[in-house]
Chains A and B, each alone.
Chain A
């Protein structure tokens, strides 16, 4: 076992959150490695510490009561639901939608049909054989050249 692997699992070992096989493997490494043995003793001292505590300020209750007094009405259940559940859930969806629309627009603008649209013809009409047949060789060449110019840019 590598020392880095031992250190990653050291807290799980201290709080008895490992199965017997893994625990025995870690204990074996600890006995054999002096560095890890010393490290785990030091870590245990930090792990024993409580987190810092924060008392409410003396005026805390007064502030809460004052805010309650100043509130004109109770927030609606729908407003709470929207803020707590729906909005956080919708954010990623909105982002995905935005990306999809951006990709679609990007691809659409890059297609030859977008360039042909400069003629004032609807894109769906350009896909028909009839429209293709109406194009003269000159106009096809013009489209080809305009596409080349866009690529160069």
Chain B
């Protein structure tokens, strides 16, 4: 959950790479993609819950980063900047598909299966794939702003200030959304874990 020393070293390198990208260095961009692709794809996947869309959004995010590298002033970290681009694109994607049915019958069946697993083997639940899937599906039920704030805070390990910078809102708005996200998620899980 917390950023490791390796991550911090990588972020310093990222800042150098962004400067080179701003000067049109495609080799530096290729390196930048390689270093950050896992985090960006993962973040998009956690927000969207869709593997294919996550890769598409991640690609768009890197291309946008390439084109706006010359506008990066270093006021925020490269990670915050890259996350901001990714989050904006992911939320835009969610706005476009909001009329689609988010919950198919197949997913309802999967939830039933996870509930069975939960009741049969509660002791080893945290290690199972079922627990991860159940938790992710519950998170995906949250309104998109609450979901994003919760993911960035709990699973990306970002501070309220960093999240506020990424989402372009105040710190108090982040705290309020986070509080509502915790309560709503607990309500969803309590319905599923009878």
Asked whether A65 and B33 contact (CB < 8 A) given A51-B46, A56-B41, the answer is: yes
With an 8 A cutoff between CB atoms, is A43 at the interface? Answer: yes
With an 8 A cutoff between CB atoms, is A47 at the interface? Answer: yes
Query: Distance in Å from the Cβ of B133 to the closest Cβ of chain A?
Result: 6
Are B139's CB and A67's CB within 8 A? no
Annotate B122-144 by CB proximity to A: 1 below 8 A, 0 otherwise: 11011011011111100100000
With an 8 A cutoff between CB atoms, is A75 at the interface? Answer: yes
Q: How far is the CA of A83 from the CA of B64 in the complex (A)?
A: 13
Are B92's CB and A84's CB within 8 A? yes
Q: Which of A11, A49, A67, A83 contacts B126 (CB 8 A)?
A: A49
Total inter-chain residue pairs, C-beta < 8 Å: 125
Annotate B24-67 by CB proximity to A: 1 below 8 A, 0 otherwise: 00100110011001101110011000010011001100111011
CB contact list, A40-82 vs B, under 8 A: 41-43, 45-57, 60-61, 63-65, 67-68, 71, 74-75, 80
With an 8 A cutoff between CB atoms, is B101 at the interface? Answer: no
Annotate A1-33 by CB proximity to B: 1 below 8 A, 0 otherwise: 000100111111001010000000000000000
With an 8 A cutoff between CB atoms, is B190 at the interface? Answer: yes
On chain A, the number of residues with a Cβ less than 8 Å from chain B's Cβ atoms is 40
With an 8 A cutoff between CB atoms, is A120 at the interface? Answer: no
Asked whether A65 and B132 contact (CB < 8 A) given A51-B155, A54-B51, A57-B55, the answer is: no
Q: How far is the CA of A6 from the CA of B176 in the complex (A)?
A: 19
Are A12's CB and B183's CB within 8 A? yes
Query: Distance in Å from the Cβ of A37 to the closest Cβ of chain B?
Result: 14
With an 8 A cutoff between CB atoms, is B185 at the interface? Answer: yes
With an 8 A cutoff between CB atoms, is A106 at the interface? Answer: no
Are B38's CB and A55's CB within 8 A? yes
Q: How far is the CA of A61 from the CA of B40 in the complex (A)?
A: 12
Q: How far is the CA of A67 from the CA of B66 in the complex (A)?
A: 12
* B154 partner residues in chain A, CB cutoff 8 A: 15
Q: How far is the CA of A123 from the CA of B38 in the complex (A)?
A: 67
With an 8 A cutoff between CB atoms, is A39 at the interface? Answer: yes
With an 8 A cutoff between CB atoms, is B88 at the interface? Answer: yes
Q: How far is the CA of A75 from the CA of B64 in the complex (A)?
A: 9
Closest A residue, CB atoms, query B56: A63
Closest A residue, CB atoms, query B46: A51
Are A12's CB and B182's CB within 8 A? yes
Are B189's CB and A68's CB within 8 A? no
- A residues bordering B, Cβ < 8 Å? 4, 7-12, 15, 17, 39, 41-43, 45-57, 60-61, 63-65, 67-68, 71, 74-75, 80, 83-84, 88
Can you list 16 residue pairs at the A/B interface with Cβ under 8 Å? A4-B190, A7-B190, A11-B182, A11-B189, A17-B179, A43-B186, A45-B122, A46-B125, A50-B132, A50-B155, A53-B42, A55-B38, A60-B58, A65-B33, A68-B26, A74-B67
- B residues bordering A, Cβ < 8 Å? 26, 29-30, 33-34, 37-38, 40-42, 45-46, 51, 54-55, 58-59, 62-64, 66-68, 88, 92, 95, 118, 122-123, 125-126, 128-129, 131-136, 139, 151, 154-155, 178-179, 182-183, 185-187, 189-190, 193
- The 3 A-B pairs with the shortest beta carbon distances in the complex, nearest first, are A49-B131, A54-B45, A7-B190
